[in-house]
Structure 1
Amino acid sequence: MSTFGEVVLRSLCVLIGFLVLPLLVGQTEHKLMAHMQGRLGPMYAGGFHGWAQLVADGVKFTQKEDIVPLAADKPVFRLAPALGIVSYLLALAVIPFGPHLVAAGITGSLLWVLAVGAIGTVGTLMAGWSSGNKYALIGGLRSAAQLVSYEVPLILAGASFAMAAGSFSLVSIAHAWTPWWLLWQLPGAIVFLVAGTAELQRPPFDMPVADSEVVMGPWTEYTGLRFALFLLAEYAGIVVVSLLLAVLYLGGWTGPFDHQIGPFWVLLKGFFFAVIILWMRMSWPRLREDQLQRVAWLGLVPLALLQIVLTAAGVVLTT
């Protein structure tokens, strides 16, 4: 039974990690884009290697005026940016960094993450509907269609990992991990990575916020810190998806000297997947809406079903 002090300490650690890790991902994205695409701007702020770029962006957002359109549904408009932040904070609370190092020990933690993680996309839909702007509404409808399409393969891929471990607990799944999973669960990991990136509406799956078509989609009418909250929620989603893949597919804290530096392995493996998600933005063009749906229903769903068949066969043969 956890004491009140332990609960407060764990909650504080989750909050600090939630505030720090998304900012590190954002800074990493600036630097990767600068190197991979020859962008000089992010390399100048603050001098050495553009270390102050993130600070400069934060100052820029705080200086901008907070505007709420007259035609907007004001309570929903104001609530939408916070919804994504809260959903990913709740998801991060159940991701284990060690056998006993988890803020909230929930038996069905995988189900919890998949459930609350989808709420962030609902915030995007709320933003599009409440803005009173036709471009924002179109982006919100695209967001809803994308949520429905990519939630299916995401859940199927998660079910494969749960079947392989015989549990919906992320701690139990990490305990059940073996090097054989690197091959056995590879299709499921690919599905989870691609579907998770699409759920975050990251390029090349950023059709809801396609600037060349719908201005900025659901974010069109947002300014200042409210717009910054959407960006922070996006980076927080990258952290959650990356850490989830680190636990589900790479065994989480498993590694040399894992009893001493287990959390380091979780962060290192999560950083590996985060870089892949960032790399996709810098390397691939945006998909058309029909291509986006085709990838989900004709690509990821059959691959996820194949992974479930392989997992079932593997479980039967090893028991």
Structure 2
Amino acid sequence: MLLIIFFKILFLIIPLLISVAYFTIAERKIMGAIQMRRGPNVTGYIGLLQPLADGAKLFAKETIIPNNSNEQLFLTAPFMALSLSIISWAVIPFGEGLFLCDLNLGIIYIFAISALNVYSLLFAGWSSNSKYAYLGSIRSAAQMISYEISIGFSCLIVIISVGSYNLSKIVLFQTNIWFMIPFFPIFIIFYISILAETNRHPFDLPEAESELVSGYNVEYSAMPFAQFFLGEYANMLLMSVFGSILFLGGWLLNLLFFLPEPVNLSLKICFGVLYFIFNRAIFPRFRYDQLMNLGWKTLLPLVIGYFIFTAGLLISFNILPN
């Protein structure tokens, strides 16, 4: 039994790390095309081995620990960031019956892990003994907490419509119509919020090069830096699959019946990946006050209003799910 669980975990982690590696080269290639340049094209055929070369370089580098830093927390923070990003995938259903763990409280589990992820950034900023890293970590914590509320209310609207926290049940509830159609404004708010939640452009204020050099990871090098890097991209993939499950029908793809369920979900994850890449390539960075105003004064009132409206409709027509 333990051996079966081990192989299940292995079959989840290895494709995830490979996907993260090729997410990075897809980003660099697509951004290169948008900016009328080639991108990586030397290492391997059309540059396809570039992620492996980058990984080997970071693995071979020396890990430098700053003077007067807290060594234990300094090295724990990147490992914690990567671990939390990976274990969040345990409850993701890739098809009907294809999951590592089918929790009835799957959404709560993802939110709990996401909340813990803030601590890894705070540990990194404080333990580095650098004012730039510390300011970047404080910014990141404030930003992630602010936009988690909008994401939480977006999920609550789906939850009260389905009557379950189980991700598989949410997918199966969308057999006839994806939630993107009746909840289109919430779909937009959710996809704006996940940019801020993952500290991605145009909301990458914690890593603002012009102000904070590189934010909370400014003092990191070699494998600890690679762990932060992998954790960030794994989080982006997680948010892409989470959005696909909530609003795009998960593994359901009604137009193409002949495709396997994991392939259907993978196509929708690719939509999320392109969304992250295009936002980085096209939009300018927000100021920090604009970022906070958007979260607290625009998105949050809108999503709370839509939540009250949805709950009112369900109660008025007596169609609340059991």
Aligned residue in 1 for 2:146: 149
Shift of the alpha carbon at 1:47? 5.6
Deviations 1:158-205 (A, max 9, x none): 111111111111111111114252221222222222212211111111
How far apart, CA to CA, are the structure 1 residues paired with 2:19 and 2:309? Answer: 35
> What letter is aligned with 2:224?
R
Q: 1:318 Cα deviation (Å)?
A: 7.0
Deviation at 1:5, TM superposition (A): 4.6
Q: Please show how residues 235-314 of structure 1 align to structure 2 within 5 Å.
A: 235-256=233-254, 261-314=260-313
Distance 1:120 1:176 in 2: 30
CA 1:287–1:155: 2 relative to 1, 3 Å? same
Counterpart selection for 1:199 from 194, 197, 200: 197
Does structure 2 retain, via aligned residues, the 8 Å contact 1:174–1:252?
A: yes
Matched, 1:77 2:80: no
Letter in 2 for 1:293: M
Q: What is the number of equivalent residue pairs in this alignment?
A: 316
Aligned partner of 1:163 in structure 2 is 160
Distance 2:68 2:183 in 1: 49
Measure, in 2, the Cα distance between the counterparts of 1:118 and 1:22: 22
What is the match of residue 84 of structure 2? Answer: 87
Deviations for 1:106-152, whole angstroms, at most 9, x for unmatched residues?
Answer: 11001111110232232111101110011111111111211221111
**Does 2:111 match 1:114?**
yes
Change (3 A) 1:204 1:43: same
Q: Distance in 1 between matches of 2:11 and 2:214?
A: 34
- 2:219 partner amino acid: E
Alignment partners' CA distance in 2, 1:77 and 1:215: 18
Structure 2, unaligned runs of 5 or more: none
Task: Specify the SS of the correspondent of 1:105.
Answer: coil
Per-residue Cα deviation, 1:242-261 (whole angstroms, up to 9, x for no partner): 00111111111112465861
Q: Within 2, Cα distance between the matches of 1:45 and 1:175?
A: 45
Q: What percent identity do the matched residue pairs reach?
A: 32
Read off the aligned partner of 1:254 and give its amino acid letter.
L
TM-score (norm 1): 0.93
Structure 2 residue identity aligned to 1:149: S
Residue range with higher mean Cα deviation, 154-163 or 173-182:
173-182
The DSSP-based 3-state class of the residue aligned with 1:75 is: helix
Change (3 A) 1:98 1:314: farther
Q: What 5-or-longer segments of structure 1 have no aligned partner?
A: none
Q: Structure 2 vs 1, CA of residues 101 and 211 (structure 1 numbering), >3 Å: closer, same or farther?
A: same
Of the three residues 116, 133, 153, the one matched with 2:130 is 133
Question: Aligned Cα RMSD in Å?
Answer: 1.8
Counterpart of 1:7? 5
Quick check: 1:127–1:140 contact (8 Å CA) kept in 2?
yes
Aligned pair in 2 of structure 1 residues 57, 162: CA closer, same or farther (>3 Å)? same
